[in-house]
């Protein structure tokens, strides 16, 4: 815990949705939802206008449509978001050599290591300068939290949303944290929170009052001791410079062992959705889907399936995880489930479709192969299955003209897809710096209409290839 608030946490405001609104003048001030648009799609980000209707990230897209039927629903353009994220991370790098990205839109910065702050006044000045630079460079807003620890800096940035800055003065931690829900503490997820609730502990103050010994008894030595220190405001975790992620995973431990096979399957599907949300948040896709199962006797099994190319499609990950579950005997009960994706790459599902199609043509007639079983580090057997899923002609057309993607017409210039179906595609022609544009409809095979790269949000700014 530092004596000065020199740890900064930046969280861009509704990043994906805000980037879409900035690039599409007709959507500014209107509800926008970004995510998978299929029948089992999931919300990646909702604009603040959409959140007023109750829409939030990780929500099933079908539920979001019921809550906000008049919102604009767009597919993610991850290459575009990564390009903007690169601009933001470059600004953070000017503040300090110690920048710890958590996702495309979130990072910690050690201002002390950069020599730009050593007290509250200089830290606040650095934070305000960063917010101005982000707005000037990208046209988007970010919220900044400043504190003497990573935990409190992240809490501060949440308090600052949207488009604000909150600084927590060292020495005020206990007063700030006391009335908050115990879920505000890092590492306290739904299962731990429920376990503590059953013990009568719902606020941070009640955690402190319970004492370290009681928390250790309830949660185990490592978790209980860590929770007690964080409830006191003590968090000595350093800001770690950027490292290449090797995998993304989520897992849940259940207070009561799960026995019902349908319930176990539903939990695996839910974990797969959360894993993809985290995967997309980091701007990655991955080739290998991993299922982790800890049984009633504490034995741990892992199963894995390797695809032909990287994916960030929640349907692909969910179905692969379900297939892996079929390989596991859950008789006797399950106490922990986890889903992960490894073999990460910096490109996303759209690239996989192109790659899968090319491979399918090159290997026409080849049957899917099943790899040999291998031993994991935990001693469990993991199977490696190679699967291919080339798109049909209809699916390729739908993917080409997905809502939100960039296009260019030989006569009308740049625009974006509002929707498509029955052989037609509707396009709104506008640019980030223009007034809201006109809408026109074309045949999906119109030779004058083609996909294009996105335009920069700010003149002279960088963009990525269209996703």
Spatial separation of the C-alpha atoms in residues 17 and 104, rounded to whole Å: 13
Count Cα atoms within 13 angstroms, Cβ side, for 339. 29
Residue 405 is predicted with a pLDDT of: 94
Spatial separation of the C-alpha atoms in residues 245 and 251, rounded to whole Å: 17
Spatial separation of the C-alpha atoms in residues 131 and 66, rounded to whole Å: 35
pLDDT tens, position by position, 230-262: 999 888 889 988 666 678 888 888 878 899 999
Residue 190 is predicted with a pLDDT of: 80
In the residue annotation, 90 being an active-site residue is answered as no
Residue 310 is predicted with a pLDDT of: 87
Give yes or no on whether 1-174 and 247-388 have one common fold: no
Instruction: Provide the β-strand partners of residue 416.
Output: 406, 428
DSSP-derived pairing of the beta strands 449-451 and 406-409: antiparallel
Residue 251 is predicted with a pLDDT of: 87
Please calculate the CA angle 351-352-357 and round it to the nearest 5 degrees: 105
Residue 393 is predicted with a pLDDT of: 56
Spatial separation of the C-alpha atoms in residues 1 and 234, rounded to whole Å: 6
The label of the residue with tokens 């099994």 reads 301
| Short-list 179, 122, 175, CA closest to 146 | 122
Spatial separation of the C-alpha atoms in residues 36 and 33, rounded to whole Å: 10
Which architecture, in CATH terms, is 394-451? Roll (2.30)
User: Listing from the earlier edge strand, what are the strands of the sheet with 72-74?
Assistant: 43-46, 32-35, 72-74
Instruction: Provide the β-strand partners of residue 33.
Output: 46, 73
Spatial separation of the C-alpha atoms in residues 92 and 111, rounded to whole Å: 10
Q: 3-state DSSP: the chain helix, strand, coil percent, rounded to 5?
A: 35, 25, 35
Residue 464 is predicted with a pLDDT of: 53
Spatial separation of the C-alpha atoms in residues 243 and 256, rounded to whole Å: 36
Task: Quickly count: other Cβ atoms within 10 Å of residue 284's Cβ.
Answer: 25
Alpha-carbon distance values, 237 to 150, 169, 177 (Å): 7, 18, 18
Give the CATH H-level superfamily of domain 247-388: DNA polymerase, Y-family, little finger domain (3.30.1490.100)
Task: Quickly count: other Cβ atoms within 10 Å of residue 373's Cβ.
Answer: 10
DSSP-derived pairing of the beta strands 413-421 and 374-375: unpaired
Q: Which letter, b or e, does each residue of 421-436 get, where b requires 16 or more Cβ atoms within 10 Å of its Cβ? A: eeeebbbbbbbbeeee
Contact, 164 vs 132, CB < 8 A? no
Look at residue 109 and give its three-state secondary structure.
strand
Residue 358 is predicted with a pLDDT of: 35
Give the CATH H-level superfamily of domain 1-174: Reverse transcriptase/Diguanylate cyclase domain (3.30.70.270)
Length of the chain: 467
pLDDT tens, position by position, 43-77: 989 999 999 999 998 888 999 999 999 999 999 99
- Tens digit of pLDDT at every position of the chain (467 positions): 789 999 999 999 999 999 999 999 999 999 999 998 877 788 989 999 999 999 998 888 999 999 999 999 999 998 899 999 999 999 999 999 999 998 899 999 999 999 999 999 999 999 999 999 999 999 999 999 999 999 999 999 999 999 999 999 988 988 888 999 999 888 787 878 888 999 999 999 999 999 999 999 998 888 888 899 999 988 888 998 866 667 888 888 887 889 999 999 999 999 999 999 888 877 788 999 999 999 888 788 889 998 888 888 889 999 999 999 999 999 889 989 999 998 887 544 433 333 333 333 333 333 333 232 222 323 333 333 333 344 455 555 556 799 999 999 999 999 999 999 899 999 999 999 999 999 999 999 999 999 999 999 987 666 554 33
* Residue tagged active-site, from 20, 49, 100, 106: 106
Residue 23 is predicted with a pLDDT of: 96
Contact, 289 vs 320, CB < 8 A? yes
Pure H helices in 185-220: 190-198, 204-210, 212-219
- Each domain of the chain, given as residue ranges in start order, spans 1-174, 187-231, 247-388, 394-451
Count Cα atoms within 13 angstroms, Cβ side, for 364. 2
The label of the residue with tokens 């019921």 reads 66
């Amino acid at each position: 815990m530092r004596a000065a608030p020199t740890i900064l946490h930046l969280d861009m405001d509704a990043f994906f949705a805000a980037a879409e609104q900035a690039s599409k003048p007709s959507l500014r001030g209107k509800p926008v939802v970004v995510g998978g648009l299929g029948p089992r799609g999931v919300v990646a980000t909702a604009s603040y206008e959409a959140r007023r209707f109750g829409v939030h990230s990780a929500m099933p897209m079908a539920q979001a449509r019921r809550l906000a039927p008049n919102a604009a629903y767009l597919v993610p353009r991850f290459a575009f978001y990564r390009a903007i994220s690169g601009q933001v991370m470059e600004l953070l790098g000017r503040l300090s050599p110690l920048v710890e990205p958590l996702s495309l839109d979130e990072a910690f910065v050690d201002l002390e290591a950069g020599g730009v702050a050593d007290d509250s006044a200089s830290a606040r000045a650095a934070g305000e300068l960063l917010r101005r630079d982000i707005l000037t460079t990208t046209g988007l807003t970010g919220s900044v939290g400043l504190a003497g620890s990573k935990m409190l800096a992240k809490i501060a940035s949440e308090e600052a949303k949207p488009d604000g800055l909150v600084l927590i003065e060292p020495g005020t931690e206990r007063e700030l944290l006391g009335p908050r829900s115990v879920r505000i503490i890092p590492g306290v997820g739904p299962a731990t929170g429920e376990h503590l609730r059953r013990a009568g502990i719902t606020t941070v103050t009640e955690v402190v009052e319970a004492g370290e010994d009681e928390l250790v008894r309830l949660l185990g030595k490592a978790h209980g001791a860590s929770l007690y220190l964080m409830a006191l405001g003590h968090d000595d975790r350093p800001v770690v410079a950027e490292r290449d992620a090797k995998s993304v995973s989520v897992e849940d431990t259940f207070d009561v062992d799960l026995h019902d096979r349908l319930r176990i399957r539903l939990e695996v599907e839910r974990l797969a959705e959360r894993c993809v949300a985290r995967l997309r948040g980091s701007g990655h896709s991955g080739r290998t889907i991993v299922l982790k199962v800890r049984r009633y006797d504490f034995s741990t099994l892992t199963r894995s399936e390797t695809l032909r190319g990287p994916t960030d499609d929640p349907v692909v990950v969910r179905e692969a995880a379900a297939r892996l579950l079929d390989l596991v005997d859950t008789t006797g009960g399950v106490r922990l489930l986890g889903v992960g994706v490894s073999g990460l790459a910096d490109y996303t599902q759209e690239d996989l479709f192109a790659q899968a199609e090319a491979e399918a043509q090159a290997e026409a007639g080849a049957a899917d192969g099943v790899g040999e079983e291998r031993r994991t580090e935990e001693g469990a057997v993991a199977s490696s299955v190679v699967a291919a899923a080339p798109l049909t002609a209809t699916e390729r057309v739908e993917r080409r003209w997905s809502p939100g993607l960039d296009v260019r017409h030989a006569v009308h210039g740049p625009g974006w897809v509002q929707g498509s179906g029955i052989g037609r595609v509707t396009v709104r022609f506008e640019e980030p710096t223009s007034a809201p544009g006109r809408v026109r409809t074309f045949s999906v095979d119109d030779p004058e209409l083609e996909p294009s790269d996105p335009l920069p949000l700010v003149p002279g700014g960088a963009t990525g290839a269209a996703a």
